[in-house]
A = this chain, B = another copy of it.
Amino acid sequence: MKVDRESFKKLLKEKGLKMTRQRLVVLEVLAENPEQHLTAEEIYDRIKAANPDIGLATVYRTVQLLLELELIDRINLDDGFVRYEIGDMGGKHHHHRHHHLICLKCGKVSAFQEDMLEALESGVKEALGFQVTDHEVKLYGYCRDCSEKEKKQNQEEKI
């Protein structure tokens, strides 16, 4: 994914903010690594090589800013780090995101698209009067690779 410098600059200007090299670079790292769920420190590490004089605090501040601008999303995998990923950008409907599959064996995190939740949301609306505007769904289990490995191992044990 490519960051459009000019529209980013414009977006910042609307809020009285300035476009800086650091802000652009952080956004670019996230845009170039979709589905990677990077921590602030990981973003920092990827930037440091080309920009040795950037500070970790700036990454933290920038990531907050990008969240407020709704350019990126936050993911919490309960491992002590907050992670970030580039948002839908295209923005089909009202930002519906945060669908993650987390493998309990290899730790791999993948995303999935699913509209089945809309039925759930309208059910909640009718039954409880709760109007859903966003959701975060994490499914824990075993990814294809790990569950196939498991299966193979079980077969070998039977022999």
Contacts and interface: CB of A to CB of B under 8 A. Distances in A.
A55 interface: no
B140 A135 contact: yes
Contact of A141 (B74, B116, B131, B147): B131
A134 B140 CA distance: 5
A133 interface: yes
A129 B147 contact: yes
Interface string A137-150: 11111111001100
Given A129-B147, A135-B138, A136-B137, 9 more contacts: A101-B124, A101-B132, A120-B120, A129-B148, A130-B141, A132-B139, A132-B140, A133-B140, A135-B137
